Amino acid sequence: MKTQKVWFITGASRGFGFDIAKTALNSGDKVVATVRKNPEQLAATLNNNSNLLVVVLDVTKESQVKAGVQHAIARFGKIDILVNNAGYGLLGATEEITDAEVKKQYDTNVFGLLNVTRAVLPYMRNAQAGHIINISSLFGYGALAPGFGIYGSTKFAVEGISEGLALEVKPLGIHVTAVAPGLFSTQFASSDSYNASEIVLDAYQDTVGKMRVTIGHLDGNQPGDPAKLAQVIIQLAESENPPLHLPVGKDAVASFRSKTERMEKEVAEWEEIASSTDHLKA
């Protein structure tokens, strides 16, 4: 018989967060779904399921995060699975993006993830069990298109945090997985799901400029089905030995393999020089 789990999912109003929440509820689990506004709307969309608790919180507000986690514990008694999904995209050349835009991006995509993780971990530690699933990105493994360097850097951070955290919490019975989706039809490419730099420089018209046009035609044409990704996340949560890194989508798998092969080739070509830096033994 399947054990009923309790999920805590950030950024659940739409996209991956919504689909994961819906799928988890349909599987019979309990779900704490966080939104920044309109909690009644999400609850109604999910049929006011008795196993659902919708919590209003902004992941960048530590006090709200702590209160939301405490509310979840008061209602369901535990948190088995944390899905750090809240985040947004940022399009612009590195030179175009201001410090303020970078800081805002990191506040949500990185520091927000850390706020939620720190708030949930004490309960997982006490239970000596749990699974933290951090939603990264294809861009967290490689720079695949001009204009997403800063966004990608936040996802590189998510990958690195996940690796370090996994080493720390494995002895405590807690798993960590960084999930890197490829291109999915989640409205990520819609203008209200990403920010674009206010500064636009002519020098980047042939690179980032073209991407500003391309992304407008991408929404709804991505190959990935978010409902199928949600099913993968459910299977991941049920695994006794989940992976640390999981690319999802044919494009993500291909990109992971391509970069791995390229890095192997570079290391092989430079191995003799790169390995020549140790102290000489007497």
The four Cα atoms 133, 134, 135, 141 give a dihedral, to 10 degrees, of -120
Token pair in block for residue 171: 């002895």
Token pair in block for residue 219: 């929404």
Integer CA distances (angstroms), 35 to 9, 78, 85, in order: 9, 20, 11
Rounded Cα distance between 52 and 277, Å, is 57
From 137, 151, 162, 197, active-site residue:
151
Please confirm, yes or no, whether 151 is among the known catalytic residues: yes
Rg, Å, the chain Cα set: 20
Residue 173 zone, left/alpha/beta (φ > 0; ψ -120 to 50; rest):
left
From 13, 22, 30, 136, active-site residue:
136
Residue 147 zone, left/alpha/beta (φ > 0; ψ -120 to 50; rest):
left
From 137, 141, 155, 162, active-site residue:
155
Please confirm, yes or no, whether 155 is among the known catalytic residues: yes
Phi–psi pair at 220, nearest 5 degrees? 90, -10
SS3 60: coil
How many CB atoms lie under 10 A from the CB of residue 73? Answer: 17
Rounded Cα distance between 84 and 237, Å, is 13
Token pair in block for residue 198: 């206010």
Rounded Cα distance between 116 and 136, Å, is 15
Active site residues: 136, 151, 155
